[in-house]
Structure 1
Amino acid sequence: MERDKKRGVERLLDLLGVGAGAVFGLIALATTYDVLLRSATGDTLAGLAELVEYTLFASTFLAAPWLLRHNGHVQVDFAVGALPERPRRLVRRIADGIGLLVCLVLLVYSVQVTWTAWRDGSIVLKTLVFPEWWLFAVVVVSMALLVLEFARRLWIGQVEPSGARDF
């Protein structure tokens, strides 16, 4: 049962990571099409800039737990990497603890903001119109998954970064 939960979370993170990559590719294609359309006809795709803005926001937040799982986040660890093994592991565990606490604070705050936007019926009113809480819910999901990932790293110990990786 525990193993199935672990696989389920890993699959969810993989889905979010692959989904974010696909969204970034679609954004590039849509933006290219829009530029060509504007150059050829003077027209543009209504709402595309907003859609790109919101999908970049969502994809970035939702890919963050996947990046953390795979040590794909930006690291400047020349000083930490130069430490002997025990102090290096301690520093990384402290960093994971700080990450956990920060994500917990952001999770609580984002839940409050999402709830308030839902309760008040706030909407985003631009070219695209939708409930504002949809945007904030992305942060809630991301922070919850980051909390789980930081807790996992603290529980089992962080896997050592293995240098630059291609995804």
Structure 2
Amino acid sequence: MRYALRLYSYVLNGMALIAGVLLVWLMVAIVVSVVIRNLGLQPSAWFFLSTEYSLFYLTLLGAPWLVRQKGHVHIELLTSVLPPVALTVLSRLVALLCVAVCGVLAWKGLDLVTMNIARNDFDVRAFFVPKWILTIAFPISFGLMAVEFSRFVFGPEILHSGEAGLKE
């Protein structure tokens, strides 16, 4: 079990690392594209397509790690004034709702991936890219987010700290 948990952590951290690399790529690609345009040239269509895909992937690949780190945005106005018991109940209910939403999105994402594979769909813009390469991130990321939110439903920690401005 210990090895499975370690492997799971490596997967989550690896996805976050890939998201970070994609963020750096976005910065480089945008700067290079602007420089090329200022020189009066036309940047490759690959720059535009890769930045578009990077925005999508970095959002989905980094999201499960953010859930684990409690890095998602939430309003602390209510949670900071709740008594500890009410905070625990509310936090676990919110996490349970998040598990349900992520579970539905993972299921629908898997349905979309299988449909893309069955239809042999392609994203036809600058290049012919199989759509499943883009949509495979949905079931993986939302499935992992459901797992991470379930840690706050059933585990010893809760999602909300109850302290306003804690992460500032």
Aligned-pair CA distance for 1:158 = 2.2
What TM-score do you get using the length of structure 1 for normalisation?
A: 0.91
Give the aligned partner of residue 24 of structure 2.
Answer: 25
The aligned counterpart of 2:2 is 3
C-alpha distance in 2 between matches for 1:110 and 1:160: 28
The within-5 A match list for 1:3-82 is 3-82=2-81
Q: Please, which moves more after superposition, 139-148 or 13-22?
A: 13-22
Instruction: Specify the code of the residue in structure 1 equivalent to 2:44.
Output: L
Over aligned residue pairs, what C-alpha RMSD do you find?
Answer: 1.5
- Relative contact order higher in (CA < 8 Å, ≥ 6 apart): 2
Map 1:1-167 to 2 at 5 A. 2-156=1-155, 157-158=157-158, 160-161=160-161, 163-164=166-167
**Matching residue's letter, 2:114:** W
- For this pair of structures, how many residues does the alignment match? 164
Gap regions ≥5 residues in structure 1? none
Q: SS in structure 2 opposite 1:41? A: coil
- Taking structure 2 as the reference length, the TM-score comes to 0.91
- Paired with 1:121 and 1:22, the residues of 2 have a C-alpha distance of 29
Gap regions ≥5 residues in structure 2: none
Report the identity percentage: 23
Residue 41 of structure 1 deviates from its aligned partner by 3.5
Cα distance in 2 for partners of 1:160, 1:76 equals 10
